[in-house]
Structure 1
């Protein structure tokens, strides 16, 4: 938390050398903006990151991902301290955004963050350094204080939409939905986690190696693995070491959020189980289910993704257990027969994955949710027809929004297609003491006498 000194206003910053991490963060954030690229994809391939030592690399990544996630709130704060109709050069605004994020949301001493912020502005436009100094000092004095007050209010249960917006750097509509769908306590937890770094976790590919062997490989690579709360899961103390280890390319371990691993664990996979997976994506859950003994038909509508997933199944050693099918989940025509488990991993808003996908917060439009919910219901309805009598039908999203979660399941159960099903389980992932994405899972059971 950034608090003001008790002995008066922050003094004017003095010129100090600009830290390499901040210089790299500005370059990468600006590139994200110009290219409209996904921040994590850009960071993985950026030469500028490889040139930094581990500590600077971690700070640069934190600054880039945080600034992307908080961009709308940062722009509000910056604009509030500019004269009416003032215009900033794009790179000057980017420098102010990165610096404002550090002042407001990181634990950097305020005076250091302001001083480095001025140097960041100076690095792109010397003449703008004075303006940068004035704006950043005002943000440190006024906006940081307002954020501290908001955090204090919610501690006492006085939760407002405006405070949620500040704490999580959320757009108003998303803060409103969080309060309505999660309740005050859940909304505060969501806002607090919105800007937190995603937990670095992997799953062992037990089709290739035992979990114990994977732990040894991770340790040898310097990843500092700790056992996660789900069998075969590991939390990495030094995730930066994973990239150079070759373990991901070899499919010995699978980068996978703990919430996603928890969803698969809750499906109750048994050896020999016939599973229809609708929404395969990159196929991480396909591999995990195959490791548990399932035999899958995995449907993905995107031809390139389906082909890439098929290649990944071969690399992971589960190609004999996973048949990748390019088909439209709304009306599958390339899948035959019935299955013991139908798992719908639905396309969704991703509002439960802000730590992993920071672009979502300010790029997602509220109006898009209704269309997603309609698509989700179509896919769930068509997929249900493949559930054998007595089989289970699972529906999952990585969204916290009721409109995509409980409301879709309720609409399905109220429809003719859902008449033979009953709800056995419904809830969101909750792993105590671990920061994860938020996933929703509902498991329905089909009556044994049901007919397709």
Structure 2
């Protein structure tokens, strides 16, 4: 230990400072860090846990630390970074008090030698007052408790978000989601059917030491030992697509609905709104390929760099012949002067809407404290629900009579999900659509769900993320 600080904590402090200064995504920093490459495997795991955990609980950690300061007290940002790390260890990792406090004092001393005494006092106060409070809250949740304050303390979430989760999905769902945040998100992949059938990919994954376990989705696997996935070349070569299991279910639904909605003998035509890096494009095409069919997919994406990434990825995957990406603002799909390729009716329009991502908190730790409550309220210019409704309205006119409109988010908040769909159905154009039950499309992979045409895939400890989808059918002429 240099200066008494463990290598993992020293690297975590450096990365948290960089994340704060650059306002960058924690996972991207971790992936590209040379400091991480120099750590032993055990230290690398601890540094990863500290960085992701501190970022995800930042606001709560700050509130607890600030409550230990004198009125009007101020901390240098570098000292605050140090205290966040050790407070997180005390509260969330169960690190022995003597270890967490001594390491925190040394981290603070590295930032400012005069702050060692302050750090000691603050961290001992957190250990004395806040650790028992969180342990009591955790016990209440495990016993069936539902208080938003307990959910927030255990999950490190803003209280408003915990309340919104309870209001949206019920106390049981919110409790399961919060308890799931203690563990890393599982790693799921899907086979690229243009390259491999499921048995051959399973052999490849096993040979790479990734310990694959088949999931309910055809060609899908959960990797029980995913550490070597990034270096295996399988992702870069698009032998497979990393995607959460819930996202795979949405893509499987889209592929099946498109194939079931086609008119005539031509391949079904799909309009995908919000292509991103092309994951759902590839999943839809791969599922269709496994069924012995083809899809013609036109994807719309706002960000030019994502258009290039998706186009390159689709080409490497071997399915570019039936894919096209158009750089366009999806909210303008009902405006005049669109490209000729969009001047048609589609068998399926998939709106993969920009959203808060509240269903993916384990994978995106920045969300909890960077998301404002107003951004997921039901009204106001610039709010996410207003944007989501606009995208539905703009794209729905491209659904042919008898075709389908599929709306999806990775949020578990009703304001972005059912409320947006209800607002759309109340419009003049929306009156031409009606929800279609999902059981027939997903009974083999998600039995018993979706009788109303809307479905929120639940998040549970050790399970996949929470995604929402709604299937709407346009009435025929």
What is the aligned partner in structure 2 of residue 285 from structure 1?
280
CA shift digits 1:336-357 (9 cap, x unpaired): 2112211110111111111111
CA shift digits 1:360-380 (9 cap, x unpaired): 111111222242111111111
Distance 1:355 1:155 in 2: 19
Count of equivalent residues: 435
CA contact (8 A) 1:16 1:116 kept: no
The offset of 1:116, in angstroms, is 2.7
The offset of 1:19, in angstroms, is 2.1
1:108-127 to 2 correspondences below 5 Å: 108-127=95-114
The offset of 1:191, in angstroms, is 2.2
What is the aligned partner in structure 1 of residue 468 from structure 2?
440
What is the aligned partner in structure 2 of residue 420 from structure 1?
432
CA contact (8 A) 1:91 1:124 kept: yes
CA shift digits 1:246-267 (9 cap, x unpaired): 1111111222111211211223
The offset of 1:58, in angstroms, is 1.6
TM-score of the two chains, using structure 2 as the length reference: 0.87
Pick one of 400, 404, 420 that aligns with 2:412. Answer: 400
What is the aligned partner in structure 2 of residue 73 from structure 1?
60
What is the aligned partner in structure 2 of residue 103 from structure 1?
90
CA shift digits 1:57-107 (9 cap, x unpaired): 121111101100100000011111112222222111101101111111114
CA contact (8 A) 1:399 1:438 kept: yes
Distance 2:247 2:56 in 1: 21
What is the aligned partner in structure 1 of residue 391 from structure 2?
379
Distance 2:322 2:129 in 1: 59
What is the aligned partner in structure 1 of residue 271 from structure 2?
276
CA shift digits 1:201-233 (9 cap, x unpaired): 222212222222222332333323222332222
TM-score of the two chains, using structure 1 as the length reference: 0.91
CA contact (8 A) 2:269 2:346 kept: yes
CA contact (8 A) 2:173 2:458 kept: no
CA contact (8 A) 1:283 1:312 kept: yes
Distance 2:83 2:103 in 1: 11
Distance 1:51 1:215 in 2: 31
Q: 1:223 aligns to what SS in structure 2?
A: coil
Pick one of 162, 186, 189 that aligns with 2:173. Answer: 186
Q: 1:352 aligns to what SS in structure 2?
A: helix
What is the aligned partner in structure 2 of residue 5 from structure 1?
none
The offset of 1:270, in angstroms, is 5.9
The offset of 1:330, in angstroms, is 1.4
Distance 1:25 1:33 in 2: 12
The offset of 1:331, in angstroms, is 2.2
What is the aligned partner in structure 1 of residue 322 from structure 2?
321
Distance 1:359 1:433 in 2: 20
CA shift digits 1:285-325 (9 cap, x unpaired): 00011112222011112222112211111111111121111
Say what the alpha-carbon RMSD is for the aligned residues.
Answer: 2.0
Distance 1:69 1:212, change over 3 A: same
Distance 2:70 2:52 in 1: 28
**2:302 matches 1:295:** no
Distance 2:287 2:143 in 1: 45
Worse overlay, 282-291 or 364-373:
364-373
Q: 2:324 aligns to what SS in structure 1?
A: strand
Distance 1:433 1:119, change over 3 A: closer
Distance 1:214 1:29 in 2: 37
Q: Please, which runs of 5 or more residues in structure 2 have no aligned partner? A: 260-266, 289-294, 437-452
Q: Please, which runs of 5 or more residues in structure 1 have no aligned partner? A: 1-14
Distance 1:232 1:116 in 2: 46
Distance 2:182 2:343 in 1: 44
Distance 1:30 1:195, change over 3 A: farther
CA contact (8 A) 1:428 1:441 kept: yes
Distance 1:22 1:433, change over 3 A: closer
CA contact (8 A) 2:180 2:461 kept: no
Distance 1:126 1:114 in 2: 15
Pick one of 363, 370, 373 that aligns with 1:363. Answer: 370
Distance 2:118 2:470 in 1: 53
Q: 2:320 aligns to what SS in structure 1?
A: coil
**2:127 matches 1:140:** yes
Worse overlay, 426-435 or 325-334:
426-435
Distance 1:213 1:111 in 2: 51
CA contact (8 A) 2:59 2:369 kept: yes
The offset of 1:16, in angstroms, is 9.1
What is the aligned partner in structure 2 of residue 7 from structure 1?
none
Distance 2:5 2:141 in 1: 36
